[in-house]
């Protein structure tokens, strides 16, 4: 649910950010369009009728009359600068007298405007040569519209106004649009939240049922192993042991020519009994609660030593694990040792267990002939695949690395043990992020 809400928030931000910038740009264009329309009306209704021949000749009465008509816009701060240009790029009127009569080179956009092109409005700092008095005023709205003198000559009417008015209008439009947009996106997120909660709960119930089935399967497997081991120990092994004693007695008292036969039969039975006793230890683990995990793991060395295999163990001073985790750790080491003993023809096996606050790492390496783990079917390695499924369901990771002639390294990473007072959820989250296994010991 945390990942879902985080993803929803990120999606909300990713969606809202370009929309906000789009609204901001549209609001700016809307404000500039208003400034352009206002300037065009001023040019048509106020300035155009006063662009007489006397004004174009720069006669003072005509200039003063136009200035008097434009003072209301200048005094209220609606406009900060006004210029009127003729076709040759000459300033025929400005509220700054020093600009009147000056000529500036006409650019392409000015020629197009004089020919009937569209009016323009921009919001920017003014740095051109003709903007000597506006260069330090910051952002200004610069508007160029087409006008006509009384004689019909095309003219350019230019105004400058403070950019703060555009920014205020832009901000007002933006603030009026953001709340409904965010509310709509939040409502969409909320509408998705309820199905997500139901889905998460269904997944939790499914996982709980899956865990319960796995636990039941493990317990049933243990019960079956215990029953088979008990029957072997109480019936088959006892009968074979009795038969071995009987053969030993016959070997001593029987005919001399049959003694080698009885001796060979007795040795075969004794070897079979030892094999069956080892199988019972493999079928069902010792009493972990009574002996402890460390002692139980140590007992696994006996079958390997009997086969002439060197086993070294690198264990922590104190192994910390609950009942289920201890049983799983025991199964991991036992299955790895069985694999090394029966299938790899190893002469050396090393077991290392490391524990930290939030994970347990088990590494079992041998110098056997190895195998190819990527093949779908590996005869003799079904135990490893079953163990891998069990580890995966327990929230851990199994990594088997081997190749023909290069030995085998089995690495298992499990969650826990935890620090006191740490919740299981925190530990499981840590484990999901840190299931990468480290390298085994060099050989």
Do the Cβ atoms of 394 and 431 come closer than 8 Å? Answer: no
User: CA 316, 318, 322: angle at the middle one, nearest 5?
Assistant: 115
The token duo for 134 is 């506006």
The token duo for 191 is 């509408």
> 3-class DSSP state for residue 137?
coil
Q: Between helices 163-231 and 2-42, what is the axis angle to 10°?
A: 170
- Report if residue 267 sits inside a domain: no
pLDDT at res. 42: 92
Do the Cβ atoms of 133 and 108 come closer than 8 Å? Answer: no
Q: What is the number of structural domains in the chain? A: 2
The candidate with the shortest Cα–Cα distance to 393, out of 414, 362, 373, 423, is 414
pLDDT at res. 375: 60
pLDDT at res. 155: 92
Residue 155 and residue 296 share a domain: no
> 3-class DSSP state for residue 382?
helix
Q: Look at residues 171, 187, 216 and tell me which one is the last residue of a structural domain.
A: 171
Rounded CA separation 141/36 (Å): 10
Q: Report the CATH number at residue 320.
A: 3.30.565.10
The token duo for 81 is 């600068």
> 3-class DSSP state for residue 359?
strand
pLDDT at res. 292: 82
pLDDT at res. 353: 92
- Report if residue 78 sits inside a domain: yes
The candidate with the shortest Cα–Cα distance to 356, out of 427, 261, 276, 283, is 427
DSSP state at residue 162: E
The token duo for 249 is 């007695």
- Report if residue 203 sits inside a domain: no
First and final C-alpha spacing in the chain: 46
Rounded CA separation 116/442 (Å): 85
pLDDT at res. 65: 92
- Report if residue 338 sits inside a domain: yes
Q: Report the CATH number at residue 27.
A: 3.30.450.20
Rounded CA separation 120/107 (Å): 13
CB atoms closer than 10 angstroms to residue 184: 10
pLDDT tens over the chain, length 443 residues: 777 778 877 887 887 788 888 888 888 888 888 888 989 999 999 998 999 999 998 899 999 999 999 888 888 877 888 989 898 889 999 988 888 888 888 788 888 888 888 998 888 776 665 665 566 556 788 899 999 999 889 999 999 887 777 777 777 877 887 788 778 877 877 887 888 888 888 888 888 887 778 777 767 777 777 788 778 777 888 888 888 888 888 778 878 777 788 788 888 888 888 778 777 766 666 566 677 888 888 888 877 887 788 889 998 888 888 777 888 888 888 888 887 777 777 889 999 999 887 788 999 999 888 877 766 445 555 566 777 777 877 778 888 888 888 888 999 998 866 443 444 443 443 343 333 333 333 33
Rounded CA separation 158/142 (Å): 7
Q: Look at residues 114, 140, 171 and tell me which one is the last residue of a structural domain.
A: 171
Residue 38 and residue 166 share a domain: yes
Residue 162 and residue 23 share a domain: yes
- Report if residue 257 sits inside a domain: no
Rounded CA separation 157/47 (Å): 8
CB atoms closer than 10 angstroms to residue 269: 19
pLDDT at res. 442: 33
What is the phi/psi pair of residue 86, to 5°?
Answer: -100, -175
pLDDT at res. 116: 86
| Structural domain range at position 366 | 289-443
Do the Cβ atoms of 430 and 415 come closer than 8 Å? Answer: yes
Q: Look at residues 171, 188, 213 and tell me which one is the last residue of a structural domain.
A: 171
- Report if residue 272 sits inside a domain: no
- Report if residue 98 sits inside a domain: yes
- Report if residue 205 sits inside a domain: no
Beginning with the edge strand found earlier in the chain, give each strand of the sheet holding 408-415 in spatial order.
310-314, 348-355, 359-366, 408-415, 397-402
């Amino acid at each position: 649910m945390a990942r879902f809400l985080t993803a929803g928030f990120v999606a909300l931000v990713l969606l809202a950010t370009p929309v906000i910038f789009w609204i901001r740009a549209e609001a700016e264009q809307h404000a500039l369009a208003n400034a352009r329309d206002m300037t065009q009306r001023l040019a048509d209704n106020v300035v155009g009728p006063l662009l007489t021949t006397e004004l174009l000749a720069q006669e003072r009465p005509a200039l003063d009359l136009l200035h008097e008509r434009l003072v209301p816009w200048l005094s209220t701060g609606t406009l900060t600068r006004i210029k009127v240009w003729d076709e040759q790029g000459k300033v025929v009127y400005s509220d700054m007298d020093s600009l009147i009569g000056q000529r500036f080179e006409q650019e392409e956009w000015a020629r197009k405007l004089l020919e009937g092109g569209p009016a323009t409005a921009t919001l920017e700092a003014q740095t051109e040569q003709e903007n000597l008095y506006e260069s330090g005023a910051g952002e200004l709205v610069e508007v160029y519209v087409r006008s006509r003198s009384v004689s019909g000559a095309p003219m350019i009417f230019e105004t400058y106004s403070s950019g703060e008015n555009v920014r205020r209008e832009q901000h007002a439009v933006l603030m009026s649009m953001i709340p409904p947009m965010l509310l709509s996106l939040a409502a969409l997120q909320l509408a998705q939240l309820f199905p997500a909660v139901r889905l998460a709960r269904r997944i939790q119930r499914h996982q709980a049922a899956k865990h319960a089935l796995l636990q039941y399967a493990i317990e049933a497997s243990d019960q079956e192993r215990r029953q088979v081991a008990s029957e072997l120990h109480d019936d088959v092994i006892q009968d074979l042991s009795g038969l071995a004693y009987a053969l030993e007695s016959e070997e001593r008292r029987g005919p001399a020519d049959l003694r080698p036969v009885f001796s060979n039969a007795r040795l075969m039975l004794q070897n079979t009994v030892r094999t069956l006793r080892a199988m019972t230890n493999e079928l069902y683990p010792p009493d972990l609660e009574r002996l402890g995990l460390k002692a139980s793991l140590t007992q696994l060395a006996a079958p390997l030593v009997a086969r002439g295999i060197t086993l070294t163990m690198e264990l922590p001073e104190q192994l910390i694990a609950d009942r289920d985790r201890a049983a799983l750790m025991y199964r991991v080491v036992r299955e790895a040792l069985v694999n090394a003993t029966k299938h790899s023809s190893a002469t050396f096996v090393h077991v290392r267990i490391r524990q930290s606050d939030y994970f347990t790492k088990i590494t079992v390496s041998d110098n056997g002939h190895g195998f190819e783990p990527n093949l779908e079917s590996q005869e003799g390695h079904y135990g490893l695949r079953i163990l891998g499924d069990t580890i995966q369901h327990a929230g851990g990771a199994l990594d088997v690395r081997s190749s023909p002639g290069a030995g085998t390294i089995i690495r298992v990473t499990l969650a826990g043990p935890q620090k006191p007072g740490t919740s299981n959820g925190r530990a499981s989250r840590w484990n999901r992020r840190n299931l990468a296994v480290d390298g085994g010991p060099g050989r």
